[in-house]
Amino acid sequence: MTIDTDRRRVSNHLDLIRGLAAVAVLVYHVRYKFFLAYGDLPRHDWLTLLFYTATSFGKDAVMVFFVLSGYFISGSIFRDRATGRWSWKRYLVNRLTRLWLVLLPGLLLTLLWDTLGLSLYGSNPVYTGAPRPWEHDYFPVADRFSVTTFFANAVFLQTILAPPFGSNDPLWSLSYEFWYYILFPLGWLAIVRPARPARAAVQVVFFVLLLMAVGTWIATYFPIWLMGTAVCLLPQIPALQRRFPFGVVMTGLLAFCAFVAMTHLTAVIDLFSSSAAGLDYVNGAAFAIVLYILLHDRSPARDDLYSRVSHEIAGCSYTLYVVHISLLIVLRAALLPDAPWPSEPRYLALAVVIAAGVLLYAYAISRVTERNTAAVRDKVLQVFPSS
For 320, the domain range is 5-383
The residue ranking higher by pLDDT, 100 or 265, is: 100
Q: Is the pLDDT of residue 6 over 60?
A: no
Asked whether residue 4 carries a pLDDT value surpassing 50, the answer given is no
Longest dimension (CA), the chain: 67
Average pLDDT over residues 339-359: 94
Split at pLDDT 50, 70, 90, the class of 196 is: confident
What pLDDT score was predicted for residue 340?
94
Alpha-carbon distance values, 250 to 228, 267, 295, 300 (Å): 21, 28, 14, 17
pLDDT value for 341? 93
For residue 303, pLDDT over 50 is answered with yes
Per-residue confidence band for 386, with pLDDT thresholds at 50, 70 and 90: low
| Structural domains of the chain, count | 1
Kindly give the residue spans of alpha helices, DSSP state H, lying in 295-344: 305-314, 317-335
Is pLDDT at 233 greater than 80 in this prediction? yes
Residue 373 has pLDDT above 60, yes or no: yes
Q: Is the pLDDT of residue 2 over 50?
A: no
pTM > 0.85: yes
Across 199-223, average pLDDT: 92
| pLDDT at residue 3, rounded to an integer | 34
What's the pLDDT at 124? 96
What is the pLDDT, as a whole number, of residue 20? 96
Q: What is the pLDDT of residue 194?
A: 63
- The mean pLDDT of 246-253, rounded to a whole number, is 90
User: Measured between alpha carbons, how far is residue 301 from residues 6, 12, 305 in Å?
Assistant: 6, 9, 12
Q: How confident is the model at residue 256, as a pLDDT?
A: 94
Contacts of 355 (CB under 8 A, 6+ apart): 26, 27, 30
Quote the pLDDT of residue 5.
35
Give the lowest-confidence range in 3-12, 106-115, 251-260.
3-12
Q: Average pLDDT in the 39-66 region? A: 92
What is the model's pLDDT at position 198?
A: 80
Identify the top-confidence range among 189-203, 274-288, 300-314, 321-335: 321-335
Count Cα neighbours of 275 within 13 Å in the Cβ-side half-sphere: 11
How far apart, in whole angstroms, are the C-alpha atoms of residue 206 and residue 137? 37
| For range 172-188, the mean pLDDT | 96
Region at 84 (left for phi over 0; alpha for psi -120 to 50; beta for the rest): left
Long-range contacts of 264-271, Cβ-Cβ distance < 8 Å, separation of 24 or more: 264/53, 264/56
- In this predicted structure, the answer to whether residue 243 has a pLDDT above a threshold of 50 is yes
Is the pLDDT assigned to residue 201 strictly greater than 70? yes
* pLDDT greater than 70 at residue 339: yes
* Residues 262-267, mean pLDDT to the nearest whole number: 87
Tell me the pLDDT band of 7, cut-offs 50, 70 and 90.
Answer: low
pLDDT grade for 195, boundaries at 50, 70 and 90: low
341 residue type, one letter: W
Q: Which of 262, 180, 191 is nearest to 217 (CA)?
A: 180
pLDDT at 1 > cutoff 70: no
With a cut of 80, say whether residue 77 has pLDDT above it. yes
Q: Mean pLDDT: which of 46-55, 83-92, 192-201, 278-287 is highest?
A: 278-287
